[in-house]
Structure 1
Amino acid sequence: HRFWNEQYLLQAFLAFNGAFEVLWSGSYMHLKHPDELEKTFNSYNRNTVWATHVPGATSFWIRKR
C-alpha cells in the first residue's frame, strides 16, 4: 500500500470546516457513479478508465463559501 500525505491533509483541512464546500471529487464519481459519468460525458468510457486508472490521479475541486 502507498499512503499519500495529500489525502490526509485534505481530510484534516475539510473536517469540520464549513468555510469550504466540495464541488467535485473525480475519484469518488469514478468509483461510485460511473453510470452517471457515462450519461453526462460522451467521452467517458468506464472500461477504458478502469484499465488506465492510476489511483489518486484525479481532480478534487473545492470552493470557499
Structure 2
Amino acid sequence: MKFDIYGRFQLDIHREGAAWAAYRSDGGKRVRVADLAIPPDVSTDELAEYLDDVYHELSRPGERISRVG
C-alpha cells in the first residue's frame, strides 16, 4: 500500500512476516524508513490514522494523509 504524506513524500508499507515495513523512494531506489516503527497490531484500516499521528507536525491546515495504492 502506498500513502501520500501531506503531498511531501510517499511511503510504501507492507507486511514482512508479522511486522510492518515502510519504504520510501529516494533517487529511484527503495530505502527502508528506519525511524518509523509501526506496531504489528495496527490494522490495514488504521494505517493512515497511525501515520497521521506520527507525521502530524509536517501537516498544514487542510492537508491529509491519503492512501494512493
- Determine if the TM-score, normalized by the shorter chain, exceeds 0.5: no
Higher relative contact order (CA 8 A, sep 6+): 1
Task: Name the larger-Rg structure.
Answer: 1
Structure ranking higher in strand proportion: 2
Normalised by the length of structure 2, the TM-score is 0.26
Structure ranking higher in helix proportion: 1
